[in-house]
Structure formats: structure tokens, C-alpha cells
Structure 1
Amino acid sequence: MQSCAIGERLREERERFGWNQEELGQLGGVNRNSQGKYEKGERTPDASYLSAIAAAGVDVLYVVTGTRTPQPIDSFTVEETVFVQMLRSMSESDRAILGRTAQAFANVKSK
């Protein structure tokens, strides 16, 4: 395992949820100091930590391998399904505009 890359992806996931190091550490059963060392690549998280944060929604496959866990289509809500259908019917330029708009909203929400 490349702990530096794992640490970077772990930080990405933490930020995606809007958690600080202490909050994610608590979810994983470790203190903020350990969480920081995981993210810096100074330590490698163990299976019990990874299992605990996976239960909280963290994409552990992504953290470990860099590959996102695919979401089964049947897990989409009705709203999500309709949104994907609309997205697929848009022109490429409209999809790009929508993508930038969604990114702007996501960045505002995470701050």
C-alpha cells in the first residue's frame, strides 16, 4: 500500500463529508493525532478503522485503491434517476455548464 496516496484520498473523503480530523477519527475509533498521521502517510490505517469509516459512508475502496465504488443503479432515488435522464438529454455544452454550476454549489456547501 502506498500510504501517502491513501492518506491523500482519506483527506479527500473527509473533506467530501465536511468532517474535521477529530470527527473522522472518532468515527474510525482513533484520536485526531492518529487521523492526522494517516492523512500525512506517516501511519497506515488498519482494517477495523477502515471498516468503521466505511460504515459511516466513506468510500474505502477509493481510499485504498483510488477506484470509486460504483453505485448500483437501483440505489438511485427517483429524483436522481430523473436528473440523470435530463443530464443525458442535454447537449455537451449544457452538461459542461451544469457541471460547473454543480461544482460551485458543492464548494459552497463544503465550506
Structure 2
Amino acid sequence: MSFSDRLREERNRVGFIQADAAKAAGVGFTSYQGYERGDRVPNADALNGLHLAGFDVLYLVTGVRNKATLSDEDSSILADLNQVDEKGRTLAITTMRSLLDTYRHLS
């Protein structure tokens, strides 16, 4: 399987459309389309952006899944979290931690 095929597969796994993936990679839509067509290859900054959005970059580059890869649901939640500003991110993390602490005390 080629890099472009794995990239398309990962984008679908994370639940992104091409425009979302382009934004996460910090590149234009046309550049991203070139990645999926196999006409272009992303640089390290673009790969890092995809990683932060929940893409398994080890798999993209090598074809080997990262054993520490999160579930599709967890990856999707983290990808959503990475799309909000710092204030929204802080609110989401604080809320989640509070809910988990409450749950632990109820168990």
C-alpha cells in the first residue's frame, strides 16, 4: 500500500474530510490533495500537524501501526479537541478531569 493510500485510510479513520486534514497539516487544500494523489509528499511540519490531529504518522511513513495507537473514538475526540482554541481546550480538559474524579469517587 502506498503512502497516499495510507494517508487516505488514516484520514477516514480519524473522521476527517480532505479540508480538515489540510487544515491540520497546515497546508492548502490543493497541496493536501496532492498528498492523497501521490503527487506530493508532506514535510515534517505537515506530518506533525497530522499527528497532533490523531493520525498514526508511524503507519503513514512505514506502513506499520503504532502499538500505542488510540481507538478510533479516542482519536476522534482528540482530533476534535485539537480543533478548538486554547480556552475551549482548557474548558474541555478541566470538565473531563472533574467528571473522571467524580466517577472514581462513586465507584
TM-score bracket, normalised by the shorter chain, equals: 0.5 to 0.7
Where structure 1 has 5 or more consecutive residues not aligned to the other structure, the ranges are 77-111
How many residue pairs get matched? 71
Once the two structures are TM-superposed, the CA of residue 49 in structure 1 deviates from its matched residue by: 0.2
Of the two, which has the highest radius of gyration?
A: 1
| Corresponding residue of 1:42 | 39
Provide runs of 4+ in structure 1 moved above 6 Å: none
Deviations 1:7-35 (A, max 9, x none): 11000000111211111000110111111
The CA RMSD measured in Å over matched residues stands at 2.0
TM (norm. structure 2) is 0.61
Q: C-alpha distance in 2, partners of 1:68/1:13?
A: 11
| Corresponding residue of 1:25 | 22
TM (norm. structure 1) is 0.59
Higher relative contact order (CA closer than 8 Å, sequence separation 6+): 1
Identity among equivalent pairs (%): 41
1:7 matched to 2:34? The reply is no
Deviations 1:32-73 (A, max 9, x none): 11111001110011000001110111000000100000028x
Where structure 2 has 5 or more consecutive residues not aligned to the other structure, the ranges are 72-107
